[in-house]
Amino acid sequence: MASILKIIAQRLALGILTMFVVSVVIFTAVNLLPGDFAEAILGQGATPEAVEAIRKDLGLDQHPVRRYISWLSGAVQGDLGNSFAQANFAAFVGTDTGSGLSSVATQIAPRFENTMFLAGVTALFAVPVSLTLGILAALYRNSVFDRATNIMTLSSISSPEFFLAYILILFLAVMNPILPSLSNIYEGMALGERFTKTLLPALTLTLVVTAHMMRMTRAAIINLLASPYIEMARLKGISPLRIIVKHALPNALAPIINVIALNLAYLITGVVVVEVVFVYPGIGQLFVDSVKIRDIPVVQACCLIFAGAYILLNLTADVLSILSNPRLRHPK
Amino acid sequence: MSTLMSIALILIGLLGAGWLLRFVGQRLTGNKPFFRDMALGVAFGYVFGALVLVWLVWAYIQSHSADATTANNFFFLGKAVEGFAIFAVAAFIFRLLGRHIGPDASRKIFRSMPLTASFGVLVILIYAFVAIFAAWLAPYGQEEVLSSANIVPGGNPAIGGNPDFPLGTDQIGRDIMSRLIFGAQNTVGIAFATTCLAFFIGGTLGFLAATLQGWLDQLLSRGVDVLMAIPSLIFALLLMTIASAWAGSEKGLLTYYMILIIAVIDSTRVFRLARAVGLNIVVMDYIEAAKLRGEGLGYLIFREILPNAYAPLLAEFGLRFCFVFLTIASLSFLGVGIQPPTADWGTMVRDLAQFINFAGFAPQVASAPLLAAGAIALLTVAVNFVVDWMLHKSSGLKE
Amino acid sequence: MVETLLKVRGLKIEGRSDETWSPIVNGIDLDLCKGEVLGLIGESGAGKSTVGLASMGFTRDGCRISAGSVEFDGIDLVQAAASTKRDLLGRRIAYVAQSAAASFNPAHRLIDQHTEAPVQHGVMSRSDSEADGVELYRKLRLPNPEEIGFRYPHQVSGGQLQRAMTAMAMSCRPDMIIFDEPTTALDVTTQIEVLASIRKIVEEFDTAAIYITHDLAVVAQMADKIKVLLKGDEVEEAETREMLAHPKEDYTKSLWAVRSFKRPQKPAVQSTSVPVVSVQNVTAAYGKVPVLHDVSFDMHAGRTVAVVGESGSGKSTTARCITGLLPPVQGQIELDGIPLPADYRKRDKSQLRQVQMIYQMADTALNPRKTIGELIGRPVQFYMGLTGSDRRRRVEQLLEEIELEPSQYFNRLPSELSGGQKQRIGIARALAAEPKFIICDEVTSALDQLVAEGILKLLARLQDELNLTYMFITHDLATVRSIADEVVVMKEGRVVEQGLKEDMFRPPHHPYTDLLLSSVPEMDPDWLTNLLNERGVDNIGDAAIDKMENESPV
């Protein structure tokens, strides 16, 4: 047991280290901006006073390493700095800088919650459906069913998310008005209504993620079914159902966990486009909007959150598959 | 609840029908193994599949009904069925031609090709043709603003179409068909160039790491690990923000920055694969034999390793191309990729998207954005089909 | 008249490749009586495993039975419903696979897998079956029979797993067991134990068995009658003793004759002559794991030194030290009395040229994308500086040297050649460097016996013509007998014993050499019985090694 704890501790340390390096990369990338980003943000027409005010307020006059440390220590405590868009606005109206600034954290928090809701609803559909379909396709491989699902999943993977989204809008919102095509969610909405409004973006994401997840599950299960111990079980006259449950599943756990984690991580990327299509007020949309208006602190923070979620998911998968490996659980 | 109930009822009905199918089959064939060993779930699958096919035929007939509302309701389904059928037949004919025309080598390839792969090859050829000869094929220029805006696709004057513009015009009066054709050149060309660049960077470094190993391998691999810990679209968006500040008002420059950014991000994936493929080859005894002979690094990489890596690299090129192509399309769709007025499918989808909401009145109106999005999907589907076949073939050879 | 248990008639099996079905087995008949053991032998690709599985009514994915019948106790398994077959499998027909490590489910303990079949088939209750399992483990001489079942497969060694699998096959007391090369993956000293226990338990329960193997000596110990297969066809079938004494068909005779090739022993070398290659006090390690301890031996011109040992004994590591791939921690390698740089990258071209290597797997030793002409031509050009037609002429000469027609083979790719031909190309590539010394790393162990024989003869001829020195790494003592002049026996990274071949095969031996020699099965069907009578069950295999180590640490 000691060795397994050691391995997990190593993975955790590695995850934290990666996260740290990633934060350096993000910070450095942002600081590659030409000149000064106060100027870049405000544009040519800004008064020197406004530029100076912002520069002071955001600590741009300090050394980058110092700034990085204060940014990181803030981020760890949940303080992600102040949004430029707000600062910009405040500077132009000439109000007292410092008090009128809206913090990135307060901007992101509700949207983060919305995105998690969307991802949750998607996972709720996608995981059971794709695992079932993937296992079925593996069991009946090379059958008509397998070939048909192969073609459909390949097509679904190949299509850009917005194509699937518009097709769903076309059929489920425009031609047959079953679901709303805009997901204008606000705080305090009843859960039922919120769910209905989230359904269409969630379905779009489900289509994409299910295809990926199903194909990976199929490959993992086929790989597993080809192992000699499955053949041995069949030659012992064990029933097909028992072979799946007793012999295949305990060993399939690690690959399946990996498949799920990988695809939930994929969701993070997919969420950006889908949120834009459906005007879903999540972190993805905020991110794209901030990219367009070059609101650096928000972009930075969103990037950090996305990368953090990504690393966390991969780490979880890693640890879970270590825990499910009998060779590691029962050392010699 | 009533919908749930009816769905449950239908499922139970299908299960019953499946049981009946198996029972009748067993009786009629004198208990042949096919029906004897059939699981109830499989029988259910057959019935379900048959039902879907019947429904599709019914829907297709509906789409040609004399009643305009009904026909409109099934317009897209009808078009999809037609498109599917046309492509299937075209792929079949293409494969048939390939089997009988041309040199022995290509005929042999066509003989073992599944229909999906021949569809893929055909589509890729068409796209390549359109992309190369876009300037001759397109009736109008890509930035040319014509007299009338918002012409409905289909060329039917009765609903606001114009035979001069078979796919209609956009909000400011540019010909959609011409822009689609030029889009092939721009979108596909840029994606292709980006993929090539990514392969050049990732491939070179990957093989170097695999051959030399040691500290260089460690350095590159750890670096790639970090870059890959940031989701690629997110990272691309972050870097595009910075690039847009660099480019300033020169929007054209942004496209080059985008190529560079996506190529670097994607080269990490290529690096991983090239390194893995390289490592698999490097452990072979023939590499050891060449090393012991005293061969230099260049000979090892170019004469011993590379010739054995073509097959997996080619398949990876297809997959990477799809990925890059979709990333660029997504960026353009989000408004930070290829910049207007260059015709590009992702941007076109974004600009024309609002037309979809008019599909209820005239389905033709909604087809313009779907065509642009469909053009993206069709190419990636085609490439994926070909890659799938290649991977299947190479894995089959190993057994 | 004994009752026939299994009756196979006209069995044809096809395999799927590239969307078409091609025959693997073309009409085999087979009869097996109760309590009888049939040996099924043949080279790789003969279809023996396929026939073995088909006699359980089972085919692997991508194979199908296209004609014929497999009647087990009156039930035709080809036509039977899946549920009927399931009822027979495990309960009345059992299977022992080649690789026990892969065939046990890593997620469950041995005893859980042992009791699964009896419980599922309703033969025994869980607790009865568990007790029975312990009893079987004891019968099969597994250490700690009460406790070993509660381990997971990866916690048990290969030889023990193979015996646990035999126990599992016995769990329902089946009427018939299929043994599919159960000892092929094991070392000789481990193999003998497994063989002894399989034979004991099959005899004790009077179980019928089909024993599949490519090793004639093994099958001679195990089977009552032998059937020889060749490329999916039956060659002949006879009682074991009859078959060994009077094989009828030419193919069978040639299989038996392989063992007859033997070179005469060369006299001992003068102590004054300088060895071509001298390994001096070499100690080596992979990272921090030590693999070689103070290894020394000499190899003299025109002679063959066989380095013998089981897997993990350090034979191949020694070769890596000589070639410079693994610089030793201590000690050195001398070529003609001059020390070689430890790292191959520091050796000059002529030093590299003098030491050549021939590999075990010709498939991975030849670049699959290069033609034969390029493969052999490269060292010719690289070392000799020959180009154009000079180079071509030299390659053709080398091809003739290895008995392949130059015009036919020059432009072919390795994938178009058979295993034996590929190995010949490997030899030609080594010869192209015109070396003094060639390391042959298990060059014949991946080949079928007839082909291996041809390679050995070729190597012997080349040695006589070119005065080559061979270091011959092998685990197969039959090969040592036929080709070696001197023998070095290695165990766990140390040289246990070395000397002239004649002396090595004559007692007295070092106890490990003795064990190694006595564990190699011989063609005599009474060999195993005699050996067990002579030494007793406690003095073979792992048990003997443990004993030896306790008494006299190496």
Q: Are C160 and C142 in contact (CB under 8 A)?
A: yes
Phi/psi at C171 (nearest 5 deg)?
-55, -30
Chain A nearest-CA residue for C107? A326
- C271: DSSP letter: T
Provide, rounded to the nearest whole percent, the portion of chain B with pLDDT above 90.
Answer: 23
Contact C433 B284 (CB under 8 A): no
How far apart are the C-alpha atoms of C133 and C146, rounded to whole Å?
9
Residue-wise pLDDT tens digits, C136-183: 888 888 888 888 888 888 888 888 888 899 889 988 889 899 999 888
Residue-wise pLDDT tens digits, C212-242: 988 888 888 888 888 988 888 888 888 888 8
Whole-number pLDDT of residue B397 = 41
Whole-number pLDDT of residue C357 = 93
- Report ipTM for this prediction: 0.86
Whole-number pLDDT of residue A87 = 54
* Confidence category of residue B264, pLDDT binned at 50, 70, 90: very high
Neighbours of chain C (3+ CB pairs under 8 A): A, B
The contacts of residue B104 (CB under 8 Å, 6+ apart) are: none
Does residue A94 belong to the interface with chain B, where contact is any CB pair within 8 Å?
Answer: no
The contacts of residue C202 (CB under 8 Å, 6+ apart) are: C37, C177, C209
How far apart are the C-alpha atoms of A205 and A199, rounded to whole Å?
10
Tell which wins on pLDDT, A2 or C506.
C506
DSSP for A215-277?
A: HHHHHHHHHHHTSHHHHHHHHTT--HHHIIIIIIHHHHHHHHHHHHHHHHHHHHHHHHHHHHH
- 3 state SS of B229: coil
Q: How do strand C225-230 and strand C233-239 relate by DSSP bridges?
A: antiparallel
Does residue A326 belong to the interface with chain C, where contact is any CB pair within 8 Å?
Answer: yes
Is the model's pLDDT at C547 over the cut of 80?
Answer: no
Q: At what angle do helices B345-352 and B176-183 cross, to 10 degrees?
A: 150
Three-state secondary structure readout of C350-377: HHHHHEEEECCCHHHHCCCCCCHHHHHH
Whole-number pLDDT of residue C18 = 65
Whole-number pLDDT of residue A44 = 58
- What domains does chain C contain, in order, with CATH numbers? 1-89+224-257 (3.40.50.300), 277-517 (3.40.50.300)
Cα angle C284, C290, C291; round to 5: 70
Preceding peptide of C508 cis, ω within 30°: yes
Residue-wise pLDDT tens digits, C501-529: 888 777 777 778 878 877 888 777 888 88
CA B59, distance to chain mean position in Å, is 27
Q: Are C237 and C225 in contact (CB under 8 A)?
A: yes
Whole-number pLDDT of residue B112 = 79
Is the model's pLDDT at C554 over the cut of 50?
Answer: no
Whole-number pLDDT of residue A41 = 58
Contact A287 B373 (CB under 8 A): no
Provide, rounded to the nearest whole percent, the portion of chain C with pLDDT above 70.
Answer: 96
Residue-wise pLDDT tens digits, C326-364: 899 999 999 988 999 989 989 998 899 999 999 988 888
Q: At what angle do helices C419-432 and C449-466 cross, to 10 degrees?
A: 20
**Selection from C445, C392, C395 nearest residue C420 by Cα:** C445
The upper half-sphere exposure of residue C86, i.e. CA atoms within 13 Å in the direction of its Cβ, equals 15
Whole-number pLDDT of residue B119 = 92
CA B362, distance to chain mean position in Å, is 28
**Selection from C97, C406, C41, C480 nearest residue C221 by Cα:** C41
Is the model's pLDDT at C428 over the cut of 90?
Answer: yes
Whole-number pLDDT of residue A79 = 72
Residue A239 with chain C: CB contacts under 8 Å? 86, 120
- 3 state SS of B370: helix
Whole-number pLDDT of residue A96 = 43
- Average pLDDT estimate for C59-68: 85
Segment 262-321 of chain A within 8 Å of chain B by CB:
265, 268-269, 272-273, 276-277, 287-288, 290-292, 294, 296, 299-300, 302-303, 306-307, 310-311, 314
Output the CA–CA distances (angstroms, integers) from residue C166 to B303, B371, C95, C161, C528, in the order listed.
Answer: 49, 64, 8, 9, 19
Q: Which residue out of C321, C325, C364 would a mutagenesis test of the B interface target, given it has the greatest number of B Cβ atoms within 10 Å?
A: C364
Is the model's pLDDT at C405 over the cut of 60?
Answer: yes
- Distance spanning both ends of chain B, measured CA to CA: 52
Place of tokens 């940031």: B230
Q: At what angle do helices C126-139 and C110-120 cross, to 10 degrees?
A: 120
Whole-number pLDDT of residue B134 = 84
Amino acid at B308: N
CA B390, distance to chain mean position in Å, is 15
- 3 state SS of C297: strand
Is the model's pLDDT at B398 over the cut of 60?
Answer: no
Whole-number pLDDT of residue A206 = 92
Is the model's pLDDT at B262 over the cut of 90?
Answer: yes
Phi/psi at B302 (nearest 5 deg)?
-85, -30
Phi/psi at C211 (nearest 5 deg)?
-110, 110
Q: Which residue out of A235, A245, A323 would a mutagenesis test of the C interface target, given it has the greatest number of C Cβ atoms within 10 Å?
A: A235
Question: Residue C48 has which token pair?
Answer: 């023996």
Burial class (CB in 10 A: 0-12, 13-18, 19+), A275: buried
Amino acid at B4: L
The contacts of residue B123 (CB under 8 Å, 6+ apart) are: B87, B378, B379, B381, B382
Amino acid at C357: M
Whole-number pLDDT of residue C154 = 86
* Confidence category of residue A97, pLDDT binned at 50, 70, 90: very low
Q: Are B264 and B201 in contact (CB under 8 A)?
A: yes
Tell me the β-bridge partners of C305: C471, C486
- 3 state SS of B87: helix
Mean pLDDT of chain C: 86
- C62: DSSP letter: T
How many Cβ atoms are within 10 Å of A193's Cβ, its own excluded?
A: 11
Contact B388 A33 (CB under 8 A): no
Q: How do strand C277-286 and strand C330-335 relate by DSSP bridges?
A: antiparallel
Residues of C with CB under 8 A from a CB of A: 56, 58, 60-61, 85-91, 94-95, 97, 99, 102-108, 116-117, 120-121, 152, 154-155
Cα angle A64, A67, A69; round to 5: 115
Is the model's pLDDT at B339 over the cut of 90?
Answer: no
Amino acid at B46: Y
- Average pLDDT estimate for B233-243: 86
Q: Are C448 and C479 in contact (CB under 8 A)?
A: no
Is the model's pLDDT at A327 over the cut of 80?
Answer: no
Whole-number pLDDT of residue C376 = 93
Whole-number pLDDT of residue B289 = 92
- 3 state SS of B332: helix
Is the model's pLDDT at B359 over the cut of 80?
Answer: no
Burial class (CB in 10 A: 0-12, 13-18, 19+), B297: exposed
Q: Is the dihedral of CA B287, B293, B298, B299 positive or negative?
A: negative
Neighbours of chain B (3+ CB pairs under 8 A): A, C
* Confidence category of residue A94, pLDDT binned at 50, 70, 90: very low
Is the model's pLDDT at A332 over the cut of 70?
Answer: no
Question: Residue C224 has which token pair?
Answer: 């009552």
Whole-number pLDDT of residue B268 = 93
Is the model's pLDDT at B138 over the cut of 50?
Answer: yes
Tell me the β-bridge partners of C75: C72
Place of tokens 């007692």: C507
* Confidence category of residue A59, pLDDT binned at 50, 70, 90: low
Is the model's pLDDT at B196 over the cut of 90?
Answer: yes
Looking at A79-88, B67-76, B316-325, C418-427, which range is the least confident one? A79-88
**Selection from A33, A163, A184, A169 nearest residue A114 by Cα:** A184
Residue-wise pLDDT tens digits, A112-146: 888 888 988 999 999 999 988 998 888 888 888 88
Output the CA–CA distances (angstroms, integers) from residue C258 to B106, C42, C239, C262, C523, in the order listed.
Answer: 46, 14, 21, 10, 12
- What domains does chain B contain, in order, with CATH numbers? 2-65 (no CATH), 176-394 (1.10.3720.10)
Whole-number pLDDT of residue C260 = 63
Residue A234 with chain C: CB contacts under 8 Å? 58, 89
- Average pLDDT estimate for B320-341: 87
Looking at A152-166, C32-46, C264-278, C421-435, which range is the least confident one? C264-278
How many Cβ atoms are within 10 Å of C119's Cβ, its own excluded?
A: 17
